[in-house]
Structure 1
């Protein structure tokens, strides 16, 4: 068995059959295979690894080049995707070997963090990944937004084909990347595929500033307006987009949107009835997972107060003893010291991403935290829910 890195041009003959069999209805058609081949121009910067035997690809993994905001600091991120293996090659440890090499390689190339959508969380937990929140879906009738139609808001909304509004959309995504914890974006090569999406784009502006954007499509008169992520810089952008959606009251019966865990749609209008849910059902409706690949790279992250020394165990990438502190709200990292907590990579990543507190790390079996370390860890890494924007 040989592991080798391949180009995007090689993916259709090697990785596509594995992915198609694992994740789509099969057998697949020649048209589907050709459609995949045409998409490869958007994967030119991906890191693609396959395990081969006698020239036949038995398993493959990939990393998409992305960036992510973690506690106010934007890092290069490895978005792990395209993980699949041939049925006859499963349970042989091929994916494990591929992922081990992939994570080592992307760290060496400068990625400080990594994220993925797992087919089975317990499998990826062995690689140090910890669960982070799945974005929510909210569904409501447009008449619940009627009071917004009577408001004279300082801004406007323009409806465009995605191909025409792509620059505004990408510009807003870059703005949110700099300000929103957990937010992630693709590099320019991969993101360019969004330009070709056959969807509408609603762009909210206040003056010359883009304050909101929503990708959406309508399935028919009296049907559903299905929106993707409701992206806004704040309450004004959200109000402008909701006002625009409210104007569809005599056209659609329902509106569905994707929102973050800190959004509360039931408060968007006095008479708005909304059903908001975060469905997690493996293997199809997956919640994402993330992990830290480089501890010193976290230096400068926005944290709380205090200082603590931890030992991260059982990991060749970030294993060791790390003294962590805060200098005017920014994380400091030095190697060495006397640890008061022993953490797995998942336990450490859960604290950094803000999805676990020290007691949860202990009760989840992700570390041994002494009583003296509970308060310093809580103060240094206050709980904060990340918003992982981008499916990959």
Structure 2
């Protein structure tokens, strides 16, 4: 394991320990790492110091990691200069990965904030009424009628009930030869949870649409379609349905499962489809390819070339959106702002195109205000921003 991966792993272990969720095996790994050097113990102690990660505001500026580290690390800085000089040139970058646990432990976004803002210019905000997303969806019934589902409003049909946060379909099998479908469409600024008639749970992210039967046909494959967008599936095991497999289609691929948890991201404005396996097993296929995944793997289907690549990912980061956060690990600002635009229902314009490439690490609480999010970005990488109605302009 290279040094960067090692420090990223250690950062996650310290975060797990701080939250009380570390297991015995990981605790032993962390203990061994602490015994390796005084440098390691200094990093660990500084992070765990009472109030440290709460008192530092919100982001580490990547380009001044060494200066920032010196400011918050008097214990490590007391180690002899000779020892420090012997550290690898990019040790400060790796140490920042460990500092990142302060963000993980407190729910902050981007890197921790040890630096003065590069600009004290007051952002221009004109007629802004931007709020975080909430539970809402548009349900299209089998007869074509449309119902708006939203938090606080109950709705009931002969086959389903909704409390405004989720819709639950009654357990049952399709009796007629004709399959009856519903559509659930999540607008920008929305999210929703649906429990299908077989007990499968689906969490739908902003700007997504799911097509599914009101009830599945006994003895046949259970099939749904993610028309577009992002969804997390917790599939009811085939053993509970006489071996009936579960399939998720979209316009580019098919995912076949027996009973598992996975995430599919297939937005209309992106040329790649990402399938992330949390547990169990799935097979991702196209008209000419088929690729099996094991837990912690993600397939990337390039629609333009019809090719599939597979890599290991942090599944918690990839699926954190369904649990109230957005987690970013070395994501460019262009990709982050796509997520922000969908959740806050805004448009984003980059005046400075170089900003699109700037990468960040961190966690965004989905209930943070848009001003909080943009202020953090401003403190680390850009001169200013402007909000006009529902448009954000990054400068």
Shorter-normalised TM-score: what interval? under 0.3
Greater RCO between the two (CA within 8 Å, min separation 6)?
1
Bigger radius of gyration, 1 or 2? 2
TM-score by length of 2: 0.25
